[in-house]
Structures are given as C-alpha cells and as structure tokens.
C-alpha cells in the first residue's frame, strides 16, 4: 500500500459497471425501466451531478451509451474471451484513470436504480477522517458489503494484476488482499440503505415496481394567492419532530427602491421564530425582483443554489418546496432537481401556483405519478391541515 491522501474529486473519475451477463435476470439490467428511464440513464444522471470524468465499463453488451461518457472495453478476458467479472472492469477503469492523470475512481453497478450521489458523498467524508486507504466500500446497515459501490485508488493496480495472473478473478480477493487497505463505509439512514437495493432477479425487479406502487405519495398544495399554502406548510413544520430540507421563497419589500426582492433560502429555517424577511436575506440568495407586476428573474441562481438546497435534503426526513412557480421556468437544472425529488423516496411537501396559472413544467409536476395534488382555499384550510397532520405528525414513525 502507498501513502495516500483524502479523495481529490478533481483528480477522480467515476466508473459505471454494466459489463455483467445478467444471467439471473435473463435480460440486460442496464435496459430495465424505472420511472420511464433505463437503469443506465438513471445512474448516468446521478454521475453528471459530480462534474468529473465519466466512464462506462462494458464486456460484451452494446447498450445505448450517452455521448458524454467514455466507453471502456474490458482489457482482460477469460480463456474463452468472456468477462472475468467486476474485477476486470475495475482494473480497466483504473488503467484508464492512470492514463488520464487521475488518482482513482468511484464505482457503481448499473443494477442500483435507487442510487444517488449522496452515497459517494459518504465515501468522500470517510476519506477525510481515514485517508490512508486504497479502497472504500459501502456497507448497508444489515452488514452487507457492496464491493462494486465504492472508491478504488490506482494504488490497487499492482495487487489486481497479481490476482489476474493467478486467475483469481474474485473482487473480494482484491478487497482482502494483504497489500491493500480497505475501509468499510457504513450507511447512516434507511434511505441510504434503499439506495443500495440491487436488482439481480425478476423477483427483485417486481419488488421494486410493487414497492413504488404502494408508497405514500408526495403532497403538493395548489391554490390562489392568499389561500394559505405557505401558512399551512409552516404550521405543519412547527409541529413536526423531523429533520427538514429543501427551499423556501420569500418576497421582501425594498422600501428604498420601491420593489420586492424575491429570496431563495433553506427550508430548515421555516420554524425559526425570528423575522423571516431578515432570515431570508441573511441566509438566502436573491433570485428575482418584481415591480408593478413586472418580474425579473435570475435563472442562474435557481440553477446553482436551488439544486444545492434540494439535493442536500437527501439526508433529511422531509423535503419542503415552497413554492413551485413561474420564476424558475428558464432554470433547467432547478426543474430537474425538483422532478428528481418527486421521483425519490423522501416525502415531499410542496406548494404550487393555482391551476389557472400554468406552464408546461407546472403541469408536469401536477401530473407526476407520485404526487397527490390537494386544492386549498380559505374555507377548507383547517380540514386539509387535519388531513396532513395524520399523515405527517400523528404517525409514530414520522413522515412517510
């Protein structure tokens, strides 16, 4: 083992492993669909969030590969010319990393359709406190190791070559090799455990689809201005005993200039007893101004700060998005982040503009398969609050 440092993301790549033969599934797992996307597309979307070198490892298969990913064909084959398994893909990926001047690479198998970048964040954090390792492997709370979901430094190449020459193609042999130091990174939440649910058989795939059908829908409150959407969300948040992420928007009057400033800020401040105008300006970012019904928006703020607030909520128990409206219409990355949250398993509580004020994006949110749209007005506000109380507060196991 060589002396190494914490993971340098700028000098790292990411390898998607999809060179397996899918014997138990009996069809190519990369092409299985979930929420209308292939498993491969889902993983690629998550990797793009990292802004690092992107590789896909293939053995024999010919998936439709995105143009922004580099295809790597296994450099090592068995005596029949076939794949030697994930060890061959990782070995090939690391050799490419060396050629590209990289220190190592994150790895993820294509059969994790619930995978999110947050799992790699766990690994990066683990390397901050324990940097002297060659391999970092994710371990779920039940003790199960996931050797293809981790980080491999180029320092393992020598040991990998020795195993290949000895015709020992087991990835665990590399992880347990006497020349290699491996750190096992434990998941921290039930949500992270779900991200490691791998699909190996038709029964696994059926369980994934069935669980999706049975899960509680995200709640999106719809109503005219003054209907009380934000008031209801704040009232619920004040009574909840759970961790909250996501974003809030607030219009703050600039008395000197005579217009209202629209601020985007963390939803974690929703229950703060202080002045919300001050909190928004102190902790948020200006995303638009409005004067005499003329609105000027800053899509770049939505596209950078918005996804940061939404994706950072992946460790929380509830995601708030108040509200989803018109300002973000030109913010492509922000809209993708909103839809990603709605595709996810963390409960979402959001508000949206009234039905008679719409855009294609707002219609996509309203019609999302995991959204329960609730119409709100001044007369039924208390009734809706009690309905949501049962869903979010009265449950002993927290929001679901």
pLDDT digits (tens, 9 = 90+) for 225-278: 888 999 999 999 888 888 999 999 999 999 888 899 999 999 999 988 889 999
Residue 339's pLDDT band, with cuts at 50, 70 and 90, is very high
Asked if residue 96 and residue 43 are part of one domain, the reply reads yes
- Considering the domain boundaries, does residue 397 fall inside one? no
Write down the pLDDT at residue 268.
94
29-38, 206-215, 218-227, range with the lowest pLDDT: 206-215
In this structure, what token pair is assigned to residue 46? 């998550």
Residue 292 backbone class (left: φ over 0; alpha: ψ -120 to 50; beta: rest): left
- Considering the domain boundaries, does residue 3 fall inside one? no
Q: Which residues contact 78 (CB under 8 A, 6 or more apart)?
A: 84, 169
The Cα 91–Cα 94 span in angstroms is 5
High-pLDDT (> 90) share of the chain, %: 62
The Cα 218–Cα 4 span in angstroms is 44
Write down the pLDDT at residue 355.
81
- Considering the domain boundaries, does residue 2 fall inside one? no
The Cα 53–Cα 282 span in angstroms is 36
Asked if residue 207 and residue 263 are part of one domain, the reply reads no
Residue at a domain's end among 212, 245, 262: 212
Q: Which residues contact 75 (CB under 8 A, 6 or more apart)?
A: 88, 91, 92, 95
Q: Is 359 helix (H, G, I), strand (E, B) or coil?
A: coil
- Considering the domain boundaries, does residue 231 fall inside one? yes
Asked if residue 381 and residue 234 are part of one domain, the reply reads yes
Residue at a domain's end among 212, 234, 250: 212
Residue at a domain's end among 212, 229, 254: 212
Per-residue pLDDT tens for 366-375? 999 889 999 9
- Considering the domain boundaries, does residue 79 fall inside one? yes
Write down the pLDDT at residue 61.
52
- Considering the domain boundaries, does residue 127 fall inside one? yes
Q: Is 199 helix (H, G, I), strand (E, B) or coil?
A: coil
Q: Is 149 helix (H, G, I), strand (E, B) or coil?
A: strand
What is the domain range of residue 149?
9-212
Asked if residue 327 and residue 222 are part of one domain, the reply reads yes
**Edge-to-edge, what's the strand order for the sheet holding 70-73?**
70-73, 53-58, 12-17, 104-109, 145-153, 135-139, 182-186
Domain count, the chain: 2
Asked if residue 368 and residue 298 are part of one domain, the reply reads yes
Asked if residue 205 and residue 130 are part of one domain, the reply reads yes
Asked if residue 330 and residue 367 are part of one domain, the reply reads yes
More confident residue, 333 or 317: 333
In this structure, what token pair is assigned to residue 383? 């009734």
More confident residue, 95 or 292: 95
For all residues of the chain together, what is the average pLDDT?
89
89-93, 110-114, 279-283, 368-372, range with the lowest pLDDT: 368-372
Q: Give the residue-averaged pLDDT of 49-69.
A: 80
Q: Give the residue-averaged pLDDT of 130-154.
A: 96
- Considering the domain boundaries, does residue 28 fall inside one? yes
Asked if residue 297 and residue 198 are part of one domain, the reply reads no
Write down the pLDDT at residue 343.
85
Residue 166's pLDDT band, with cuts at 50, 70 and 90, is very high
Write down the pLDDT at residue 62.
55
Q: What is the CATH number of the domain that holds 375?
A: 3.40.50.300
| Total-model pTM | 0.70
- Considering the domain boundaries, does residue 1 fall inside one? no
High-pLDDT (> 70) share of the chain, %: 94
Asked if residue 127 and residue 191 are part of one domain, the reply reads yes
Asked if residue 293 and residue 259 are part of one domain, the reply reads yes
Asked if residue 340 and residue 297 are part of one domain, the reply reads yes
Asked if residue 129 and residue 147 are part of one domain, the reply reads yes
**Phi then psi dihedrals of residue 392, to 5 deg:** -105, -30
Q: What is the CATH number of the domain that holds 105?
A: 3.90.550.10
């Amino acid at each position: 083992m060589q002396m190494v440092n914490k993971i340098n993301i700028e000098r790292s790549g990411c390898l998607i492993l999809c060179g397996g033969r899918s014997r138990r599934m009996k069809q190519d797992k990369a092409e299985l669909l979930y929420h209308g996307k292939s498993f491969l597309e889902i993983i690629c979307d998550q990797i793009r969030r990292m802004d690092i070198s992107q590789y896909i490892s293939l053995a024999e298969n010919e998936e439709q590969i995105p143009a922004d990913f580099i295809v790597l064909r296994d450099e090592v084959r068995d005596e029949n010319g076939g794949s030697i398994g994930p060890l061959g893909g990782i070995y090939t990926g690391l050799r490419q990393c060396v050629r590209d001047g990289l220190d190592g690479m994150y790895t993820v198998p294509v059969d994790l359709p619930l995978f999110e970048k947050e799992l790699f964040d766990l690994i990066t954090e683990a390397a901050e406190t324990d940097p002297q390792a060659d391999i970092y492997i994710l371990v779920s709370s039940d003790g199960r190791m996931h050797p293809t979901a981790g980080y491999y430094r180029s320092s393992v190449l020598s040991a990998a070559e020795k195993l290949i020459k000895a015709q020992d193609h087991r990835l665990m042999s590399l992880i347990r090799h006497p020349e290699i130091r491996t750190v096992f990174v434990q998941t921290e939440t039930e949500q992270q455990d779900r991200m490691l649910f791998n699909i190996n058989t038709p029964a696994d795939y059926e369980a994934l689809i069935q669980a999706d059908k049975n899960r509680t829908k995200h709640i999106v409150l719809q109503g005219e201005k003054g209907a009380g959407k934000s008031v209801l969300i704040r009232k619920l948040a004040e009574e909840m005993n759970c961790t909250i992420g996501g974003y809030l928007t607030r219009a703050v009057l600039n008395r000197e200039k005579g217009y209202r400033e629209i601020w985007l800020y963390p939803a974690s401040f929703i229950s703060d007893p202080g002045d919300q105008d001050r909190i928004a300006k102190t902790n948020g970012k200006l995303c638009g101004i409005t004067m005499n019904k003329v609105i000027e928006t800053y899509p770049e703020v939505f596209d950078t700060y918005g996804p940061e607030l939404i994706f950072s909520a992946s460790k929380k128990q509830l995601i708030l998005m108040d509200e989803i409206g018109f300002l973000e219409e030109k913010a492509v990355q922000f809209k993708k982040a909103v839809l990603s949250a709605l595709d996810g398993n963390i409960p979402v509580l959001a508000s949206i503009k009234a039905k008679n004020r719409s855009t294609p994006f707002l219609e996509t949110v309203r019609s999302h398969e995991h959204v329960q749209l609730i119409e709100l007005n001044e007369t039924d506000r208390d009734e809706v609050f009690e309905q949501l109380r049962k869903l979010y507060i009265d449950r002993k196991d927290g929001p679901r």
